[in-house]
Chain A
């Protein structure tokens, strides 16, 4: 039965790309390593063989220049996908991305547009360090004219990538490396998940956990633990940071009266702060306690696991924060961290990436 069709997140991305390239000859994909034997963590494997070297391309290590080339392609009616194996590399392309891609449609009063998908992968753990692990989604979300999505599930990865490719605007498509091997139900057909729509993964009345990307996974774990103690959290996968579906979050907070914003990014100026601001502006009188957030600290990621174990935020921190917000000191805080080491995504993971 269709419901049984389970794919990994990276496979869902590959399938979405494959199907859209099959559907629309204006879709091309390029990036450092796209056709190489590892195929961007498996997400582009086999595509060059199927669609040829003119539609599936490697590229010079010129992130800014090739972002501009992709904008030029898009202005001429193509639908390029550009990939960065690490989000950090995209910083070299900020000029083209911010000055041209984001603004072109507006500057020229809608006479031309830039249908461009830029895939970026966030690293974590295994000594990735300060330049291979940055969670800069808030930076992109700050730029007028960009759309920013961060799918968490395999289903959303496929549906949001298809929406992103079909979209007539530059879309920053952010994948967390630790989600690539997560499995989930993925229909075989071409389907879309709308950009600009959050998703309620768990319904609950006691507190709203509004989360991005990998923090959604941690939020679900926390919600499972809390449910056993009789605390029912509503878990919202924000999915699209821009344009933000604050309505879904605000409606939830009006019901629960409490908000814990969870983001993989940093504390100051981060996206969790944006969520809290929106709720404070629009649902302040419904709040039973001060909204809270969990983020990374304002510290670059170190490499050694001796330090990273003090750096990340996981479901245990979420549980602690929820109990604090609900003033449930009667519930014992202690819970087991997962037995897998904290600096790898799963037990099967083998270095280096």
Chain B
């Protein structure tokens, strides 16, 4: 086990987990007045992929975007301020949880229409191709996005032009409360991508280190000019589709299923193997938790204490100058 890599990935997993857990704690205050789609359980995907990206590689995401924004390096204070609807937020209060952006780290944007940003990532990759840049565009999306026509249109065009784009499908088995089995025939999404001519990869989202290595291989192939690739990461969301709570009472999934996935929690697995292999100590780990908690405290305080946008903000940015 690579010590430096393990610690880096663990810290990133923990960072996202603790941010999401804090949102769960704060949400009942009814001050985070926007829909939140938490990614607790799914953190390996953003962490494993983004750890391989360069600063200028661009990332697009969808409604469940917190992890992608944070893993790419999105500003935490602007994140919380945005959730609080404040003028200091990353969208000055016009976006909320579902519209995140941080151009300083090339997180180009997330939007909540399913599959909506997939062709934008292809367009960004096309601009790299046309301008002979070595960068890569990454589109993160869920399993349901593969049911949208624009997903197929995007893969077709990406391969037609052999563009530097990685399509990352986080398969968490559900579109809101509807299981994959009710939405797709029993065939793999990698088969679809393969039919479009893409290199295809699969990774186990319970193991962030393996996600990292699979993503690394996919991205190296793309960077070497071999065209677009598709990566499916098997994963699971622990809480409700939208909101801070557990949703087992709805009955669309079983407690047993949730428990099985939680037993394979990527954060806990890595933590235990790092401790058992002596890569880190419980004391060091406690310190990591505490440091991140302070960082989050500061970001939350910044969000809470920031001012709301004034009325003129309403009619700003309808058109660009």
Give CA–CA (A168, B318) in the complex, Å. 11
B58, B119, B128, B317 — most chain A CB neighbours (10 Å):
B119
Return chain B residues, CB-CB under 8 Å to A69. 119-120, 122-123, 126, 154, 157
A100 touching B120, Cβ below 8 Å: yes
Closest to A100 in B: B116
A60-B153, A60-B157, A65-B157 known; A99 vs B111 contact (CB < 8 Å): yes
- Partner of B150 from A95, A104, A108, A112 at Cβ < 8 Å: A95
B95 touching A68, Cβ below 8 Å: no
Q: Does A316 contact B (CB under 8 A)?
A: no
Q: Does B92 contact A (CB under 8 A)?
A: yes
- Partner of B126 from A62, A72, A99, A145 at Cβ < 8 Å: A72
A95, A108, A113, A169 — most chain B CB neighbours (10 Å):
A108
Closest to B130 in A: A54
Task: Looking at the assembled complex, report how far the CB atom of B2 sits from the nearest CB atom of chain A, in whole angstroms.
Answer: 34
B99 touching A107, Cβ below 8 Å: yes
Give CA–CA (A78, B320) in the complex, Å. 15
B316 touching A68, Cβ below 8 Å: no
Return chain A residues, CB-CB under 8 Å to B118. 68
Give CA–CA (A109, B130) in the complex, Å. 28
A75 touching B108, Cβ below 8 Å: yes
B93, B118, B122, B153 — most chain A CB neighbours (10 Å):
B153
Contact with B along A109-144 (1 / 0, CB 8 A): 111111100000000000000000000000000001
A96 touching B116, Cβ below 8 Å: yes
A60 touching B91, Cβ below 8 Å: no
Give CA–CA (A96, B126) in the complex, Å. 17
Number of A residues, CB within 8 Å of B: 43
Closest to A146 in B: B319
Give CA–CA (A75, B317) in the complex, Å. 15
Closest to A78 in B: B127
- Partner of A66 from B93, B116, B157 at Cβ < 8 Å: B157
Task: Looking at the assembled complex, report how far the CB atom of B139 sits from the nearest CB atom of chain A, in whole angstroms.
Answer: 10
Return chain B residues, CB-CB under 8 Å to A105. 317-320
- Partner of A107 from B91, B103, B120, B125 at Cβ < 8 Å: B91
- Partner of A110 from B130, B153, B316 at Cβ < 8 Å: B316
Task: Looking at the assembled complex, report how far the CB atom of B15 sits from the nearest CB atom of chain A, in whole angstroms.
Answer: 23
The B120-137 residues at the A interface (CB cut-off 8 A) are: 120-128, 130, 137
Q: Does A302 contact B (CB under 8 A)?
A: no
Give CA–CA (A70, B154) in the complex, Å. 12
Number of B residues, CB within 8 Å of A: 42
Closest to B94 in A: A109
B150 touching A72, Cβ below 8 Å: no
B156 touching A62, Cβ below 8 Å: yes
Task: Looking at the assembled complex, report how far the CB atom of B249 sits from the nearest CB atom of chain A, in whole angstroms.
Answer: 33
Q: Does B321 contact A (CB under 8 A)?
A: yes
Give CA–CA (A142, B181) in the complex, Å. 39
Return chain B residues, CB-CB under 8 Å to A272. none
A100 touching B111, Cβ below 8 Å: yes
A72-B122, A73-B123, A108-B99 known; A65 vs B153 contact (CB < 8 Å): yes
Give CA–CA (A99, B99) in the complex, Å. 12
The B42-85 residues at the A interface (CB cut-off 8 A) are: 58
The A33-70 residues at the B interface (CB cut-off 8 A) are: 54-55, 59-60, 62, 64-70
Task: Looking at the assembled complex, report how far the CB atom of B231 sits from the nearest CB atom of chain A, in whole angstroms.
Answer: 19
Return chain B residues, CB-CB under 8 Å to A112. 101, 103, 108-109
A110, A112, A168, A169 — most chain B CB neighbours (10 Å):
A110
Give CA–CA (A105, B108) in the complex, Å. 12
A147 touching B319, Cβ below 8 Å: yes
Return chain B residues, CB-CB under 8 Å to A76. 58, 123-124, 127-128
Return chain B residues, CB-CB under 8 Å to A115. 320
- Partner of A64 from B103, B124, B150 at Cβ < 8 Å: B150
- Partner of B318 from A66, A72, A99, A145 at Cβ < 8 Å: A145
A65-B153, A68-B119 known; A168 vs B321 contact (CB < 8 Å): yes
Contact with A along B135-152 (1 / 0, CB 8 A): 001000000000001101
Task: Looking at the assembled complex, report how far the CB atom of A97 sits from the nearest CB atom of chain B, in whole angstroms.
Answer: 12
Give CA–CA (A183, B157) in the complex, Å. 38
Q: Does A353 contact B (CB under 8 A)?
A: no
Q: Does B246 contact A (CB under 8 A)?
A: no
A66-B157, A69-B119 known; A110 vs B127 contact (CB < 8 Å): no
Return chain A residues, CB-CB under 8 Å to B123. 68-76
Return chain B residues, CB-CB under 8 Å to A113. 320
Give CA–CA (A71, B319) in the complex, Å. 15
Task: Looking at the assembled complex, report how far the CB atom of B219 sits from the nearest CB atom of chain A, in whole angstroms.
Answer: 19
The B303-321 residues at the A interface (CB cut-off 8 A) are: 316-321
Known: A68-B118, A77-B127, A112-B103; 20 extra A-B contacts, CB below 8 A, are: A60-B157, A66-B153, A68-B119, A69-B122, A70-B123, A71-B119, A72-B124, A73-B130, A75-B120, A75-B124, A76-B123, A76-B128, A104-B109, A105-B319, A109-B95, A109-B317, A110-B317, A110-B320, A111-B101, A115-B320
9 contacts between A and B (CB under 8 A): A65-B119, A68-B116, A69-B123, A76-B123, A99-B116, A100-B116, A105-B320, A112-B109, A243-B319
Nearest 4 interchain pairs by C-beta: A72-B123, A68-B119, A65-B153, A62-B153
Show the binding face of B for A, using Cβ within 8 Å.
Answer: 58, 91-95, 99, 101, 103, 108-109, 111, 113, 116-128, 130, 137, 149-150, 152-154, 156-157, 160, 316-321
